[in-house]
Chain A
Amino acid sequence: MADLSAQVQEPFDLVRLSLSERVFVKLKGERSLTGVLHAYDGHMNMIMSDVEETILMVEPEESGSTVQTMKRAMEMLFVRGDSVILVSPGAR
C-alpha cells in the first residue's frame, strides 16, 4: 500500500477503494456490521451484501454487568448514513 497517499485524497476515497470488498461498519446503538460493500452515496447511505449484524447488550446483574452479543445474517441491506459511526476496510 505504498501509493495509498496518492490514491486517497479525501475520506470518501477510502470508502471508494473498499467497494466490492468486505468492510466493518460501526453503527449507533451498539451495533456493528461486516459485509461486502456494493454502493455508497454522499450521506454515507450504503448497500451491503452477505452481512452479519452484531448487537451488543449489557445486562446489569447483582454480581456486575454481563455483555451479550446477538448476531443476525442478511443477504442484502441498505444502511442509512446517519447511523454510521465508522467504516473500516477489511472485516474482522
Chain B
Amino acid sequence: MASQILPLELIDRCIGSRIWVITKTEREFAGRLLGFDDFVNMVLEDVTEFITTEEGVKKVKLQQTLLNGNNICMLVPGSNGPEDS
C-alpha cells in the first residue's frame, strides 16, 4: 500500500475546493470543503442542499455547515453537485 494514496488523503487534498457530498438518504450537498475529521464529519461553506422528494429536487442554500459523517455515503471532489455535467 506504500505508493498508494489513502482515501482520507484524497479528501485532504480537496480542502479549499468544491466538493459534492452524497448521503445515504435522498439528500446531496455541494459546497466548498473547509475541513473534516477522522469520522468524516465535514465543515462546508457556501452550500447548496439538494433534497429529492416525489415532487422533484428541492434546493436549499446554507452558509457554513457542519455535516454529520454518519450519513455520508460518497464524496466527489471538484464537483458542483448533481446539476454539474
**Measured between alpha carbons, how far is A74 from B72 in the docked complex, in Å?**
17
A11 within 8 A of B: no
Residues of B within 8 A of A (CB): 1, 4-8, 10-11, 24-25, 40, 69-70, 72-79, 82
Cβ-defined contact, A29 with B6, below 8 A: no
Partner of A80, one of B5, B73, B76, B79: B73
> Interface of chain A, helix or strand or loop or mixed?
strand
> Interface of chain B, helix or strand or loop or mixed?
mixed
A40 proximity list for chain B (CB < 8 A) = 7
Number of interface residues of A (CB under 8 A): 23
**Measured between alpha carbons, how far is A40 from B50 in the docked complex, in Å?**
28
Shortest Cβ gap from B26 to chain A (Å)? 9
**Measured between alpha carbons, how far is A46 from B8 in the docked complex, in Å?**
9
Cβ-defined contact, A39 with B7, below 8 A: yes
A77 proximity list for chain B (CB < 8 A) = 74-77
Shortest Cβ gap from A69 to chain B (Å)? 15
